[in-house]
Amino acid sequence: MSTNENGMRESDLFDRATIHEIQRAAREGMYSIRGFGAKRKLPHFDDLLFLGASMSRYPLEGYREKCDTDVILGSRFAKKPIHLKIPITIAGMSFGALSANAKEALGRGATAVGTSTTTGDGGMTPEERLSSKHLVYQILPSRYGMNPDDLRKADALEIVVGQGAKPGGGGMLLGQKISDRVAEMRTLPAGIDQRSACRHPDWTGPDDLTIKINELREITDWEKPIYVKVGATRTYYDTMLAVKSGADVIVVDGMQGGTGATQDIFIEHVGIPTLPAVRLAVEALQEMDMHRKVQLIISGGIRNGADVAKAMAMGADAVAIGTGALIALGCNSPEHEEEYQKMGTSAGFYDQYQAGQDPAGITTQDEKLGARLDPELGGRRLANYLRTMTLEAQTLARACGKSHIRNLEPEDLVATTLESAAMAKIPLCGTSWYPGCDQGTF
Amino acid sequence: MGTETVNLLDTELRALNDRLHHLDLSKDPSHFVVEEPRGKHNIACGLTDEIVVDIKGHAGYYCAGMNQRATLTIHGNCGIGVAENMMSGTVRVEGSASQSAGATGNGGLLIVNGNAAARCGISMKGIDIVVRGSVGHLSAFMAQAGNLVVCGDAGDSLGDSIYEAKLFVAGSVKSLGADCIEKEMRPEHLKTVGALLERAGIDDVDPASFKRYGSARKLYNFDIDNADKY
Ligand SMILES: Cc1cc2nc3c(=O)[nH]c(=O)nc-3n(C[C@H](O)[C@H](O)[C@H](O)COP(=O)(O)O)c2cc1C
């Protein structure tokens, strides 16, 4: 609780942000739509620690001994699974939400380090196909820009059931971001708000989805891995149903996951955090004897190598990043402070992805702004960030004596809070107990 | 030309689709007859060549899905999502079609001789759909482009949240969805309907008997004063 210089107490309930939002709503008569992910404090990977090697565990030499990072995605049914050099992928972000240069930069950065990038609502741009060695093609409810030629050009397909920022919600690209090119790709008039449906148009439940997945496999001659992406809610059951529907890979996006444009109320109040979601997905896979057979990709608030290593120790095969990648390209950089100030915001606070006025040229369709982002330089920065995260994750894995990041295990972790212990089912440090565990000692 | 017959009782669906996906039209036949489809799903989806396919019976889900250039006839009924996301070509259903017929289609012509169930033409993006009978509720939901011609009646919430697609219904419309209104039938619309009926082989329904429905374009950009209309 904060106090001002006169010793006056700020309300915890009606804090400045809340008061500001009520005033804004009263003025504008519209709920707040924004980009970025949840801003509230939630139990997260920061609440876990690695134990590291000790008398009973043998570490690997930090700078010398091998610690592999590769991952194969789609080995269940696909004739051509994807082999990535690092387990950090670039999540689906649409052309429309992002500029063409930003999409190209993501492709370049990902390709430089041997990982994949993903299309998004609105279809595949030639730039991103050209710049991405491994490109995952999203199949969303709107089916904007969806066509079978691009389907065949993709290296994997991802059926998007939901997104962590808005499970149960559709998309929205506000009119100011609908340039002629975006409009044409989506077969809609320029300048109008584009709603993306929240339900798929041609399947309604897991039984239908099984047939839908088979259709996609038939069309692509069973070559391509098929991912199913869900926003984290009833993750245990969703994972089971996705496996039953025939997915090769499951992508679980926690509520902290970023978005291009969603109602603030949705971002902050729907879904469950990434931490319990990983645990629930892994439990479901283990129960079905499908852990490591159907691969699990985790996203939602992955920022550094520690997050990567902890998600993998809990049983994920790989992670995906959105917001972190945009920041690496230059989003929220102090370089643009003057322009942020003019918009009433500041570097570190900028979340107006929906408005299309991004001074960094990333979340915009304005040609002049978009041209500010040099895709080569952006790609280089993203590659640096991905390499750094990988090195960090390897450092932690070696400290735990693992010659492959994937060999990290829940036993390498402890929790620092009761909440994280309960959600991750990882023992509270100094104990062998977590809430709900009937054997451990406190 | 030449005709090849494939019987799905003794040929796996995978083998049929694989064959249809890898044709060499300089030597392979361009007419295929599929016998004993028995409601199997995903028959002849993802075709890319200018071939003719006759399916001699009922088909399951997603028959002719994402079709490009091919001409298919289903001599029976079909399941959910017939010709979904079709790009070009022609798909004809001699019987009735289940939900989401022609969903998200970008081009080509889908003809349903019987009725089509709910969500016919949902999110259509340029496809033309002609239904000889009636269509179910939420047909042309969020329809973006193309023409939907219904010779019978339409169910509840026709054209809900419609964008620029044009809807023509000869019979009754149970209710119109959000932002969908009746519009004037001008000479160019009579021409469009007449031409589509002709292509569908329907010569006993008068284009002048259709009413046109489309977007009021009131919900195209958010306005808080329209909040009760959502
Ligand atoms: C600008 C932006 C656009 C996005 N567009 C899509 C999209 O089109 N489809 C989708 O499935 N997810 C989309 N997402 C969500 C990401 O795929 C991913 O789930 C999320 O960003 C992961 O969380 P993180 O941002 O904390 O890394 C978008 C996210 C952002 C930041």
Whether residue A71 sits in one domain with residue A22: no
Nearest residue by C-alpha to atom 2 in ligand 1 = A260
Please write the tens of the pLDDT for every residue from B177-203.
999 999 999 999 999 999 999 999 999
pTM of the entire predicted model: 0.96
Whether residue A81 sits in one domain with residue A209: yes
Cα(A260) to ligand 1 centroid in Å equals: 7
Chain A positions touching B45 (Cβ under 8 A) are 215, 218-219
To the nearest whole angstrom, how far is the Cα of A143 from the nearest Cα of chain B?
A: 7
In a domain, A259, yes or no: yes
Which among A42, A93, A256, A382 is the best mutation to test ligand 1's pocket, defined by most ligand atoms within 8 Å of the CB? A93
Cα(A92) to ligand 1 centroid in Å equals: 6
Decide if B14 touches A, using CB distance below 8 A: yes
CB spacing of B68 vs A148 below 8 angstroms:
yes
In a domain, A313, yes or no: yes
Whether residue A100 sits in one domain with residue A173: yes
Nearest to A91 by CA among A251, A317, A265: A251
Identify which of A29, A197, A219 has the shortest CB distance to residue B66. Answer: A219
Q: What's CA A327's distance to the chain center, in Å?
A: 13
Q: Which residues surround ligand 1 with Cβ inside 6 Å?
A: A 35, 37, 91-94, 97-98, 120-121, 138, 160, 163-164, 229, 253, 256-260, 299-302, 321-324, 353, 363
CATH number of the domain encompassing residue A115: 3.20.20.70
Count of positions (residues) in chain B:
230
Which pLDDT tens digits describe chain A residue by residue (442 residues)? 688 899 999 999 999 999 999 999 999 888 899 999 999 999 999 999 999 998 988 999 877 899 999 999 999 999 999 999 999 999 999 999 999 999 999 999 999 999 999 999 989 999 999 999 999 999 999 999 999 999 999 999 999 999 999 999 988 787 888 888 888 899 988 888 888 899 999 999 999 999 999 999 999 999 999 999 999 999 999 999 999 999 999 999 999 999 999 999 999 999 999 999 999 999 999 999 999 999 999 999 999 999 999 999 999 999 999 999 999 999 999 999 999 999 999 999 999 999 999 999 999 999 999 999 999 999 999 999 999 999 999 999 999 999 999 999 999 999 999 999 999 999 999 999 999 887 777 6
CB spacing of B60 vs A142 below 8 angstroms:
no
Residue A393 CB: number of other CB atoms within 10 A?
28
In a domain, A278, yes or no: yes
**Domain range spanning residue A103?**
35-408
Identify which of B45, B62, B126 has the shortest CB distance to residue A187. Answer: B126
Ramachandran quadrant class, A390 (left: phi over 0; alpha: psi -120 to 50; beta: rest): alpha
Which among A163, A195, A228, A326 is the best mutation to test ligand 1's pocket, defined by most ligand atoms within 8 Å of the CB? A163
Whether residue A165 sits in one domain with residue A21: no
Whether residue A23 sits in one domain with residue A124: no
Decide if A390 touches B, using CB distance below 8 A: no
Handedness of CA A387, A393, A396, A402 (dihedral sign): negative
Which among A121, A228, A259 is the best mutation to test ligand 1's pocket, defined by most ligand atoms within 8 Å of the CB? A259
Whether residue A152 sits in one domain with residue A15: no
Nearest to A193 by CA among A216, A170, A213, A212: A170
Whether residue A41 sits in one domain with residue A25: no
The rounded distance, in Å, linking the Cα atoms of A182 and A311 is 35
Whether residue A182 sits in one domain with residue A79: yes
The tokens of B129 are what?
């759909």
Q: Spell out the residues 6+ positions from residue A283 whose beta carbon is closer than 8 angstroms to its own.
A: A236
Residues B152/B170, Cβ–Cβ less than 8 Å: yes
CB spacing of A202 vs B81 below 8 angstroms:
yes
Decide if A261 touches B, using CB distance below 8 A: no
SS3 A327: helix
In a domain, A419, yes or no: no
Ligand 1 closest atom vs CA A353: 1
* Number of domains observed in the structure of chain A: 2
Decide if B147 touches A, using CB distance below 8 A: no
The rounded distance, in Å, linking the Cα atoms of A397 and A65 is 11
CB spacing of B18 vs A221 below 8 angstroms:
yes
Decide if A288 touches B, using CB distance below 8 A: no
In a domain, A245, yes or no: yes
SS3 A120: coil
Helices (H) and strands (E) in chain B, counts: 2, 11
Confidence (pLDDT) at A378: 98
Confidence (pLDDT) at A194: 83
Judging by beta carbons within 10 Å of its beta carbon (0-12, 13-18, 19+), is residue A27 exposed, middle or buried? exposed
Within the 21-50 window of chain A, which residues sit less than 8 Å (CB to CB) from chain B?
28-30
Chain B positions touching A30 (Cβ under 8 A) are 222, 224
The rounded distance, in Å, linking the Cα atoms of B96 and B116 is 6
Which residue of chain A has the CA closest to B100?
A202
Stretches in chain B below the pLDDT threshold 70: 227-230
Decide if A193 touches B, using CB distance below 8 A: yes
Decide if B190 touches A, using CB distance below 8 A: no
Confidence (pLDDT) at A424: 98
In a domain, A438, yes or no: no
Task: Kindly write down the DSSP assignment for every residue of A31-55, as one continuous string.
Answer: --EEEE---S----GGGEEE---BT
Confidence (pLDDT) at A294: 98
Residue matched to tokens 């929205």: A172
In a domain, A153, yes or no: yes
In a domain, A276, yes or no: yes
The tokens of A191 are what?
């300048």
CB spacing of A211 vs B106 below 8 angstroms:
no
Whether residue A116 sits in one domain with residue A7: no
Whether residue A21 sits in one domain with residue A162: no
Whether residue A47 sits in one domain with residue A19: no
CB spacing of A202 vs B142 below 8 angstroms:
no
Nearest to A230 by CA among A218, A243, A212: A243
Decide if A10 touches B, using CB distance below 8 A: no
Whether residue A39 sits in one domain with residue A14: no
Confidence (pLDDT) at A1: 65
